[in-house]
Amino acid sequence: MAQWRYEASNGEARAYVVNPDRTQFGFRCTTRPEDRQNILIDLYVVPLTTAPDEEEVARFTIGTWTFTMETLPIGALRNGLQRYQSRMDFLHPVQVNMRNQVSRGSVVRFEQTFDFARVNFSLRGSARAMERLEAACPVLWNGGRAPGSRLPVQAAPSGNIGWNVERDAQYVRAVVRRRDAVLFGIQCERGRADQTRWIFQLSNTVLGQTNPPLALVIDGQRFAPFENVTPGMFTRDAVLGYYAEFSPELQAGVLQALRGGATHVSVPLTSSTQQAVFGLNGFPEAFDTVMAECGYDPDSLPGGAGMPARAASPDQEPASVPDEAVQALRNYILSVVQPQCTPGASVDLPDDAFRVSGDRVSVLLGRADCDWQFRINPFCGAARCQVWIYEWLGDRFELIAEQLR
């Protein structure tokens, strides 16, 4: 049976599997500037045509999960195989879930398309190979720093995926920059807390709006839009800058989430399928540094060491999911948890295991408790537990992300 492999060389890391017939499936990240923060998916398949479409939608299943992705044919036929490639944002929740399922599953089944034949790939050894890839990609993008290490709190080149502190003659700011000139951060005039503002540079999908509905989604949790959004930052490369008011009182939930160990934040744009996604590596240190220079006491701000945790976030979007739908989701989660308990044991699933924000529900499986078959909560690791994030579509829920918190 084919075994997954991991390789790294020449500014590239990849995890992949090759069948006996030389068909191939895998994930790859590189140091090429145009592919920073992207994961590349490579697929070598038996073609059904000598003139493949310019674009083909591949559909595949892993267990009960079904994924679709747009692929592009790369080059000509070679050894009877056609290569296809897909490029996705490394931090996008759907892509994160896809890699999680590859790590946990037993087989990937690609459906037949107009362009290529049906093909299956074993996932034997995928967990270890994907674990090494997950660790290697940030190293490649971070200039060789160990995964999980914090970046220096100083200016860094555009394209770095970590948060950094930047200073000029008047302003100090904590920002994360992407290779496409898109950025997100917070800045102030030194020593002037009243001049602190959130800053955005976003793609032209929001051009033409003087007060776009900018909001944050932090690890799948959606927060209310910012108030007093105004244009005004330097614009280039089809991006436009915006400022938004900074209010520790009104944005307590945002600050707690950003400072509480979250892994990524996204800014939904005008289409529900478009969003700017940023990692949060280095955010706590950069934020604290800037807040101190702005005139704030970082520990006294929400999420700081000197502030108690809040039971509720006033800036969290009002729930738009019907109570009966949440109850149906609760019943489903109970059906998933119950088999992990000893026969006849009851499951304790408290209300705070379900966090509703707008049309999304985050299910904190670490809050579930019972007489576990193997003595410990199987949904938790040594330090973090699984969180499943569902989106309410009006008549059903769809699982859009899985995280560890």
Tell how many helices (H) and how many strands (E) occur in the chain: 5, 23
Least confident of 80-89, 185-194, 238-247: 238-247
Helix 93-104 and helix 126-141, axial crossing angle in degrees, nearest 10: 140
Of 24 and 157, more confident? 24
Give buried/exposed letters for 252-261 (b at 16+ CB in 10 A, else e). bbbbbbbbee
**What pLDDT, on a 0 to 100 scale, did the predictor assign at position 85?**
92
- CB-count burial class (<10 Å; 0-12, 13-18, 19+) for 55: exposed
The residue among 190, 224, 217, 241 whose CA lies nearest residue 315 is 224
**What pLDDT, on a 0 to 100 scale, did the predictor assign at position 28?**
94
Given a contact cutoff of 8 angstroms between Cβ atoms, the answer to whether 40 and 30 are in contact is yes
pLDDT over 60 (residue 152)? no
pLDDT over 90 (residue 249)? no
Q: What's the chain's Rg over C-alpha atoms?
A: 23
Of 388 and 210, more confident? 388
- Number of C-beta neighbours around residue 339 at 10 A: 9
Least confident of 230-234, 330-334, 353-357: 230-234
pLDDT grade, residue 179 (50/70/90)?
Answer: low
What CA–CA distances, in Å, run from 148 to 108, 305, 372, 403? Answer: 30, 21, 32, 16
Of 182 and 175, more confident? 175
Considering the chain, what is the average pLDDT of its residues? 79
**What pLDDT, on a 0 to 100 scale, did the predictor assign at position 77?**
82
H-assigned helices in 221-278: 252-259
**What pLDDT, on a 0 to 100 scale, did the predictor assign at position 305?**
64
pLDDT grade, residue 108 (50/70/90)?
Answer: very high
Give start-end residues of each CATH 2.60.40.1880 domain in the chain.
164-300
pLDDT grade, residue 404 (50/70/90)?
Answer: low
Given a contact cutoff of 8 angstroms between Cβ atoms, the answer to whether 63 and 52 are in contact is no
Most confident range (mean pLDDT) of 9-23, 182-196, 221-235, 384-398 is 9-23
Q: State how far the Cα of 39 lies from the Cα of 25, in Å rounded to an integer.
A: 13
H-assigned helices in 69-186: 93-104, 126-141
For 250, phi and psi rounded to 5 degrees?
-75, -25
Of 150 and 90, more confident? 90
Least confident of 68-82, 219-233, 261-275, 343-357: 261-275
Of 340 and 23, more confident? 23
Multiple choice CATH, 5-141, 3.40.50, 2.60.40, 3.30.1050, 1.10.357: 2.60.40
pLDDT tens per residue, range 123-143:
999 988 998 888 788 778 766
Given a contact cutoff of 8 angstroms between Cβ atoms, the answer to whether 69 and 57 are in contact is yes
Q: What is the mean pLDDT of residues 221-248?
A: 74
Q: State how far the Cα of 184 lies from the Cα of 121, in Å rounded to an integer.
A: 39
Token pair, residue 59, equals 């559909």
Distance of alpha carbon 312 from the chain centroid: 23
Given a contact cutoff of 8 angstroms between Cβ atoms, the answer to whether 41 and 68 are in contact is no
Sheet with 386-392: list strands edge to edge.
Answer: 354-357, 360-364, 386-392, 397-404
- CB-count burial class (<10 Å; 0-12, 13-18, 19+) for 347: middle
- To 5 degrees, how large is the angle CA 278–CA 202–CA 259? 35
Percent of the chain predicted with pLDDT > 90: 21
Q: State how far the Cα of 154 lies from the Cα of 160, in Å rounded to an integer.
A: 12
Q: What is the mean pLDDT of residues 262-269?
A: 77
**What pLDDT, on a 0 to 100 scale, did the predictor assign at position 154?**
30
Given a contact cutoff of 8 angstroms between Cβ atoms, the answer to whether 223 and 215 are in contact is yes
Q: State how far the Cα of 87 lies from the Cα of 257, in Å rounded to an integer.
A: 29
pLDDT over 80 (residue 75)? yes
pLDDT tens per residue, range 348-398:
999 888 988 878 888 888 889 999 887 788 888 656 678 888 888 887 888
Given a contact cutoff of 8 angstroms between Cβ atoms, the answer to whether 25 and 16 are in contact is yes
pLDDT over 70 (residue 313)? no
- What is 164-300's CATH number? 2.60.40.1880
Please spell the DSSP secondary structure of 293-352, one letter per residue: HHT--GGGSTTSTTSPPPSS-TTBPPP-S-HHHHHHHHHHHHHHHGGGBPTTPPPB--GG
Model confidence pTM above 0.85: no
Q: State how far the Cα of 95 lies from the Cα of 399, in Å rounded to an integer.
A: 13
Token pair, residue 336, equals 């998933």
